[in-house]
Amino acid sequence: MNKLPLLLLLCFSPCAVGDGLPDLGDISQTVLTPLQERQIGQQSMLQIRASRQFLDDAEINDYLNQLGYRLVENSAEPGQSFEFFAINDYNINAFAMPGGFIGVNSGLLLTVQSESELAAVLSHEIAHVTQHHLARIIAGQQSDGLASMAALAIAILAARNNPQAAEAAIVSMQARTMQKRLDFTRTHEQEADRIGLDILQKSNFSIHAMPEFLNRLQRATQLLEGHAPSYLRTHPITGDRVADIENRVYKLPYRLVPDSLNFQLVRTKLIAAQKTAPDAIAYFNDALGAQKHGNPVAQRYGLVGALLRNNEVNRAAQELAVLRIQAKSYPLYRNSPMIETLAGQVKRAEKNDAAALAFYRTAVENFPQHRALIYDYADLLLQNSHAETASQLLTEQLVRHPSDVKLYDLQARAYAMQNKRLEQHHAQAYSYAWQGNLYAAIEQLELAKQAGGSFYQLSTLESDLRELREMLEARGKP
């Protein structure tokens, strides 16, 4: 095992922030360092990950990161780390935490009518991050600990999301700062719109998507008689704001940008997740039969997934064969890791493990970055007692994804099968640490120590233990 990469981000040693953040008692400080912002975001992220709201679907999150990074490259801070993730919430919303953590509600993913609209929302959020909007509000707060600042970041977001919760948040915050926040809001939104539009344009998406999306939300609000979608509350829209955006884009030529297949497959997955398996089968059959709505490749992808869920393995395999032929007729769709992942699941359901293993060997070579495929392959390897091959695969993947809890869990299983107790508990410790469960992580490190190992291994454990205990101590502070 390598050194805990976690500690680079959550380092509480004196080199970084010491006991909480220095100088925060001084209200004149309005700027956090990039490291402080990252730490606050990371802390908030541990809480979000531990909550049921985090949408734990590697394919959806990988897609959001691919799209997000394409936009980040054209932002003011192309070198900054970002993390895009989905929230299981049907309210239409998206939000940005300090340090580049951007959440997108499933409701928003289902509401946007094109990938350009989604890109428009993400660009706006990226601009909030690169302009340090939330960070500036937090920096102005009197607060003496990282954890409390992270809690504050979450409280502000929750307050914007939910007016009832806002009252509670206001009570717990200084009225003066709250007022300051409200003054900020309008300027922030205009700035994020302007910079977001620039990012969107440079990234070759349709910039008309931004006013189209806002107008649609506003129309929805009128229908709901004032019950505004969360997005309009977190990013208040005034008539000026939409007019301002329209003025910027109307002179520019309209460009039609086709949606990527992954965009459509992600949406299909979310649509299916709202339905029971039989309902999903009926829905996608209907969509395909009458050719009424949507993209036929995406609809058939939904149908195969629903058939699998309903244990109709033979029909799933038949529809998958049709899906592959259909996908070939679209040049852009020829290589989709999401279709390969689904194909692997069909193969596994057919219970021919030898054929499935051969399939995964090729698929993983073709799509080494697609985590959902890796999880399934590693799991199948373990079921077939190929623990060493699994360990090797997982070690390579952990270099790419050092905070991936599922990879650590699979690695712990692989080590357990090889009777490597120290490594097993060490991997389990990282899994718990990334879930924010520091007590359980420390317990696993103690078990790893008891298992015994080389001098080097044991000293690595000692240093991880020391750092986790420091983190625990820092967290305990108000």
Interface contacts to Zn ion, rule CB under 5 A: 189, 192, 235
Contact 150, 47 (CB under 8 A): yes
Closest approach of Zn ion to the CB of residue 185, in Å: 8
User: Which of 25, 163 has the CB closer to Zn ion?
Assistant: 163
Q: Name 458's Cβ contacts closer than 8 Å, sequence gap at least 6.
A: 449, 452
User: Which of 235, 406 has the CB closer to Zn ion?
Assistant: 235
Closest approach of Zn ion to the CB of residue 178, in Å: 18
Beta bridge partners of 85: 103
Closest approach of Zn ion to the CB of residue 24, in Å: 25
DSSP letter string, 105-147: EHHHHHH-SSHHHHHHHHHHHHHHHHTTHHHHHHHTS----HH
Closest approach of Zn ion to the CB of residue 162, in Å: 16
Closest approach of Zn ion to the CB of residue 124, in Å: 5
In degrees, rounded to 5, the angle at the alpha carbon of residue 261 between the alpha carbons of residues 257 and 264 is 90
Q: Name 7's Cβ contacts closer than 8 Å, sequence gap at least 6.
A: 464, 467, 471
> CA separation (Å) from 144 to 147, 254, 426, 472, 476?
9, 50, 32, 16, 12
> Which of the 8 DSSP states describes residue 254?
P
| Residue sitting closest to Zn ion (CB) | 235
Pick from 387, 361, 388: nearest CA to 374: 361
Closest approach of Zn ion to the CB of residue 193, in Å: 8
User: Which of 190, 403 has the CB closer to Zn ion?
Assistant: 190
DSSP letter string, 231-249: HHHHS---HHHHHHHHHHH
> CA separation (Å) from 444 to 269, 392, 423, 424, 458?
36, 22, 10, 9, 13
User: Which of 58, 129 has the CB closer to Zn ion?
Assistant: 129
User: Which of 189, 464 has the CB closer to Zn ion?
Assistant: 189
Closest approach of Zn ion to the CB of residue 196, in Å: 8
User: Which of 173, 192 has the CB closer to Zn ion?
Assistant: 192
At 42, the amino acid letter reads Q
User: Which of 129, 441 has the CB closer to Zn ion?
Assistant: 129
User: Which of 235, 269 has the CB closer to Zn ion?
Assistant: 235
Q: Name 220's Cβ contacts closer than 8 Å, sequence gap at least 6.
A: 229
Q: Name 383's Cβ contacts closer than 8 Å, sequence gap at least 6.
A: 353
User: Which of 192, 298 has the CB closer to Zn ion?
Assistant: 192
Q: Name 472's Cβ contacts closer than 8 Å, sequence gap at least 6.
A: 438, 439, 442
Closest approach of Zn ion to the CB of residue 128, in Å: 6
User: Which of 235, 348 has the CB closer to Zn ion?
Assistant: 235
In degrees, rounded to 5, the angle at the alpha carbon of residue 312 between the alpha carbons of residues 283 and 328 is 70
DSSP letter string, 407-436: HHHHHHHHHHHTT-HHHHHHHHHHHHHHTT
Closest approach of Zn ion to the CB of residue 414, in Å: 44
User: Which of 124, 267 has the CB closer to Zn ion?
Assistant: 124
At 321, the amino acid letter reads A
Instruction: Label residue 199 left, alpha or beta by phi (over 0 means left) and psi (-120 to 50 means alpha).
Output: alpha
The backbone torsions φ and ψ at residue 16, rounded to the nearest 5 degrees and listed phi first, read -95, -80
Instruction: Pull the structure tokens for residue 3.
Output: 């050194």
Q: Name 226's Cβ contacts closer than 8 Å, sequence gap at least 6.
A: none
User: Which of 231, 283 has the CB closer to Zn ion?
Assistant: 231
Closest approach of Zn ion to the CB of residue 223, in Å: 23
